[in-house]
Amino acid sequence: MSTTDTSTTRVALVTGGSGGIGRAVVQRLAADGFAVVVHYAGNRARADEVVAAVQASGGQALAVGGDVADETAMTAAFDAATAAFGGVDVVVNTAGIMILGPVASFDLDDLDRMHRTNIRGTFVVAQLAANRLRPGGALINFSTSVVRTQFPAYAAYVASKAAVEGMTLILARELRGKDITVNVVAPGPTATPLFLNGKDEQTVQNLANAVPLERLGQPEDIAETVAFLAGPARWVNGQVIYTNGGLA
């Protein structure tokens, strides 16, 4: 860990920080001077790799584990961030799972599992952020552009992310007077393992072609929007930012 003065360093907690978009967010915020807490659900080794990369570049980082839907585990994550760096200024909630399938045959156990992580998990982290972010802070939750595009087989996933949008925009109004912004980033097709898993080459190419820029997004594209909301975007609040290259 570097010896940067934590009294003046802003601190970001990134859930799912060892994943595709989460990793890019961690790297971007660290490059912007944040001390970063890299949350992981099960793969400690991968989180440690992200932490080591940040530290090798002269930044500050810490790995913390836990189920985002478990309020005790996530309280411990916030406590660890505070103990290491003095507090939390930004929470980026990228943690989530995606299971696809048509409504008519969707496995209800899969529905419950996905909604536990995507809805309850987001709610738990948002509740903690609402109570523990320092003034001037930001909470950034994650949705999906498929909320608008309505692709077949995404109904259960979209239902969970539409819930994220609803709770986030209400929370932005509930935090009146606290100087904390609350927004949603809704990526389009982005080249991450979560997105690419189970899709054949033609399906991936068709999704890339649906975007006017004719390519998939990269995790770094999404991280750029997060960095804007985490830093200079103090007049952006209670919004859903569709970061998708122009996908309808």
DSSP secondary structure string, 9-61?
--EEEEETTTSHHHHHHHHHHHHTT-EEEEEESS-HHHHHHHHHHHHHTT--E
Residues 6+ apart with CB under 8 A from 72: none
Is 227 within the bounds of a domain?
A: yes
Is 3 within the bounds of a domain?
A: no
Q: What is the pLDDT of residues 18-52, one digit of tens each?
A: 989 999 999 999 999 999 999 999 889 999 999 99
* Tokens 């944040």 belong to residue: 34
Is 71 within the bounds of a domain?
A: yes
Which of 40, 154, 157, 242 is an active site residue? 157
- Counting Cα atoms < 13 Å in the Cβ hemisphere of 86 gives 12
Check pLDDT > 90 for residue 234.
yes
CATH of the domain at 30: 3.40.50.720
Q: What is the DSSP letter of 104?
A: G
Is 4 within the bounds of a domain?
A: no
Q: What is the pLDDT of residues 92-138, one digit of tens each?
A: 999 999 999 999 999 999 999 999 999 999 999 999 999 999 999 99
* Tokens 């599992």 belong to residue: 113
pLDDT of residue 205: 86
pLDDT of residue 10: 98
Q: CA of 242: how far to CAs of 165, 183, 225, in Å?
A: 12, 11, 9
Would residue 157 show up in a list of annotated catalytic residues for this protein?
Answer: yes
Report field, pTM of the whole predicted structure over 0.95: no
Q: What is the pLDDT of residues 173-184, one digit of tens each?
A: 999 999 999 999
pLDDT of residue 247: 86
Is 248 within the bounds of a domain?
A: no
pLDDT of residue 189: 86
Domain that holds residue 81: 11-243
Please state the domain count of the chain: 1
Is 1 within the bounds of a domain?
A: no
pLDDT of residue 1: 40
Is 2 within the bounds of a domain?
A: no
Q: What is the pLDDT of residues 159-214, one digit of tens each?
A: 999 999 999 999 999 999 999 999 999 999 888 877 777 778 888 888 888 888 88
